Amino acid sequence: MSHSSDRRRILVIDDNDAIHGDFRKTLEQQTPTERLANAAALLFGGPKTPAAAGAPGFEVDTALQGQEGYEKVKASLAEGRPYAMAFVDMRMPPGWDGVETIQHLWQVDPELQVVICTAFTDYSWEQIVAALGTTDRLLILKKPFDPMEVCQLASALSEKWKLKRQASLKMIDLEKMVHERTTELQRMAMLDKLTGLPNRAWLMERLKRFVARTLAEPAFRFSVLFIDFDRFKMINDSLGHPVGDQLLVSISNRLRGALEIGDAIDASDSKPAVARLGGDEFVVIQPHIQGVSDAVALAERLNAVLSASYSLNDIEVHSTASIGIATSEVGYHWGDDILRDADSAMYRAKSLGKARCTVFSPEMHQEAVARLTLETDLRRALKRREFVLYYQPIVSLADARLVGFEALMRWNHPQRGLIMPSEFIPVAEETGMILDIGTWVLEEATRQMQQWTRQIPGSASLEVSVNCSRRQIADPRFLTMVGDVLGRTGLAPQRVNLEITESMVMQNLAEMKEKLLQIRALGLKLHMDDFGTGYSSLHCLHGLPLNVLKIDRSFVHNVSLRRDYAAVIDAIILLAHNLGMKVIAEGVEAADHVAMLCGLDCDEAQGFLFSKPLTADDAGGFISQRTLAGAGAFHAELQPQIA
């Protein structure tokens, strides 16, 4: 079977059936090897070529009339077994003559190689060319035939046909492959690699299309839900990126499930679709809404789905999402605008306490503008010397002695007045400005402490604590920067504490440990700030070169509300002491806090009870007062508790 399909098909169209027999004899009866060897020798003048050995044979078909030949060519194509070539007689009364026949044949099979057979000069070559065009598919064979000549033509032309055909099949394959690849690439460009959801590029295209549709078709309304996971950053920072990725995949699967989405990219325009914008930001587009209440209902349903707990690497994680909603009813001309407004609404939802959804209103746009203005102003603040440091005293609970200060930043904004760090530090961190700002803080705080040391007797043992951001510690120039700053201000490194947070350390424990050891090698001490708000346990802190644990103020505050918090603080203090760390309690506001903390053997405290953060001048006064009066001044306040 494979042999016959390898044979090259030849069609002989001649009104004389005796001729059919001649062709058969000549082409079919010779062994292929002999025939091709002969043909090759004739064509190329050499001995038999190796390629000719074992070449396929011919299969001859015949027709008595042009029309009949034409039908056979058509049928051969339909069967997928086309003829390689045809020998066509010039005169075939009563039907088409050779030229007419060839015209028809080429209409259905332009690849067909043709030999026109003629005894008389019915047509001149010029006439033939005029009728059939200049082509490389046509040769003339004069009657009477020389069998060798027939073989030669059959071999050469069918070989040429085969090569051309292979090349064109390859081209088709190639084109198909190129087409498949480009479609795939286009798809990939619209896909988020991690979650398999459509990405921002896809979203923007769909928004553009939907906005255009609302303009053309006023009854068409849609909503955009901007979803941000409330604790993603914290989970990502404390449990590490691989776990963060796992969480993102879980979130996207839940969204897919809730929206009943299969293949999201090809999702039809008439159903809700979800895309991942980046980070923990997802956007749902909901078409065909009646009004905003449809969007709110969907948002609430999604929030319920998202807030069920997640199990990541055997750790149970709980979080909610904040969802901002914008609907096309506002009247948009650009996809960017509706997305921006949904984003503003999401921001508002977060600031209202998370785990909720908020519908966009125009004043939120003002807020977004305000955020941008803040960023621009912040860029200029350092040069214009608008930052100031406040200093909050830290006291020893055992003897009410002042042990030092925590430096806390304020921004003295030319129009807005004093701005608190919670408003601008996140922006500074996001934009990277925290690097320069952080350097300034360290320099200013240590310069100030050195100045007090020179000016106020008895202050030489005071320490200063400076808050550090993750980006600062991660910066490769951090150690050099610290060394340089201390070199300039002249303060002994032993009197400088760097406050870091759990989430900074937990993300990359091994690398961080190395960095922290290098900081300690410079002589500085390390304080773990806000302990208890992250995901780490005391167990994780084991082996880190930390000197002090600062218990977050939420623990201290809750003690007055719930007694069992005292047991938690007790345990933290006990374990910290076991790990060789001192403990500072933050947010001490009331005398009964002090009583409780003293009872639990807490080392030091900081809070409004002792003092709010003070300007440098006031802090200087505070030092003088305490050191001149001795510990007694404080002692008097604390006496009832400490005794």
Binding site for ligand C2E (CB under 6 A): 392, 408-409, 420-422, 425, 441, 467-469, 499, 529-530, 553, 586-589, 606-608, 613
* Min dist. Cβ of residue 392 to ligand C2E (A): 6
Give me the least distance between CB of 448 and ligand C2E, in Å please. Answer: 13
- Interface positions with Mg ion (CB under 5 A): 467, 499, 529-530, 586
Are 201 and 267 in contact, with CB atoms under 8 Å apart? no
* Block residue for tokens 């025939």: 35
Residue among 116 and 576 whose Cβ is closer to ligand C2E: 576
Cα(602)–Cα(570) distance, integer angstroms: 9
- The partner in contact with residue 98, picked from ligand C2E, Mg ion, none with C-beta cut-offs of 5 to 8 angstroms by kind, is none
> Please, what is the minimum distance in Å from the beta carbon of residue 513 to Mg ion?
21
Least distance (Å) between residue 601 CB and ligand C2E? 20
Q: How far is the CB of 613 from Mg ion (least distance, A)?
A: 11
DSSP per-residue string spanning 625-642: HHHHH-THHHHHHHHHHH
CB of 337 to Mg ion, least distance (A): 39
User: Residue 334: which of ligand C2E, Mg ion, none does it interact with, CB under 5 to 8 A by kind?
Assistant: none
Taking the complex as a whole, the smallest distance from the CB of residue 428 to ligand C2E amounts, in Å, to 8
Give yes or no for a contact between 72 and 185, defined as CB atoms under 8 angstroms apart: no
607 binds, among ligand C2E, Mg ion, none (CB under 5 to 8 A by kind): ligand C2E
Distances (CA, A) of 77 to 86, 165, 333, 358: 14, 13, 55, 66
Which is nearer to ligand C2E, 10 or 408 (by Cβ)?
408
Q: Are the CB atoms for 192 and 198 separated by under 8 Å?
A: yes
Nearer to Mg ion, 158 or 467 (CB): 467
Q: Which is nearer to Mg ion, 343 or 530 (CB)?
A: 530
What is the rounded CA–CA span in Å between residue 428 and residue 625? 36
The partner in contact with residue 425, picked from ligand C2E, Mg ion, none with C-beta cut-offs of 5 to 8 angstroms by kind, is ligand C2E
Nearest-CA neighbor of 86 among 59, 56, 120? 59
Q: Tell the smallest beta-carbon distance from residue 222 to Mg ion (Å).
A: 44
What is the DSSP secondary structure assignment for residue 290, as one 8-state letter?
S
Please, what sign has the CA dihedral across residues 167, 101, 123, 143? positive
Q: Which does 611 bind (CB under 5 to 8 A by kind): Mg ion, ligand C2E, none?
A: none
In whole angstroms, the minimum distance from the beta carbon of 579 to Mg ion comes to 19
Query: Cα separations (Å) of 594 from 393, 394, 396, 598?
Result: 15, 13, 11, 6
* Residue 608 near which of Mg ion, ligand C2E, none (CB within 5-8 Å, type-dependent): ligand C2E
Q: What residue 613 binds from ligand C2E, Mg ion, none (CB within 5 to 8 A, per partner kind)?
A: ligand C2E
Query: CB-wise, 322 or 497, nearer to Mg ion?
Result: 497
Within 13 Å of residue 236, how many CA atoms lie on the same side as its CB? Answer: 13
Question: For tokens 């214009």, what's the residue?
Answer: 384
Nearer to Mg ion, 230 or 499 (CB): 499
Choose between 467 and 469: whose C-beta lies nearer to Mg ion.
467
**Residues contacting 190, CB < 8 A, separation 6+:** 198, 199, 201, 202, 205, 265
What are the helix (H) ranges across 382-477? 421-431, 434-455, 470-474
Q: Produce one character per residue of 181-191: b if its CB has 16 or more CB atoms within 10 Å, e if not.
A: eeeeeeeeebb
Q: Which does 398 bind (CB under 5 to 8 A by kind): ligand C2E, Mg ion, none?
A: none
Separation of alpha carbons 633 and 643, rounded Å: 15
By C-beta, is 313 or 351 nearer to ligand C2E? 351
Closer residue to ligand C2E, CB minimum distance, 10 or 528:
528
Q: Which is nearer to ligand C2E, 89 or 499 (CB)?
A: 499
**Which of Mg ion, ligand C2E, none binds 587 (CB below 5-8 Å, type-dependent)?**
ligand C2E
| Residue (of 129, 65, 66) closest to 102 by Cα position | 66
- Closest distance of CB 462 from ligand C2E, Å: 18
Backbone angles phi, psi at 620, to 5 degrees: -60, -45
Residue 212 binding result from Mg ion, ligand C2E, none, given CB thresholds of 5 to 8 Å by partner type: none
Say if CB 140 and CB 125 are below 8 A apart: yes
Minimum CB–partner distance for residue 408 and Mg ion (Å): 7
Q: Which does 328 bind (CB under 5 to 8 A by kind): ligand C2E, Mg ion, none?
A: none
Residue with tokens 């910290």: 576
Give whichever of 113 and 446 is closer to ligand C2E, judged by the CB atom: 446
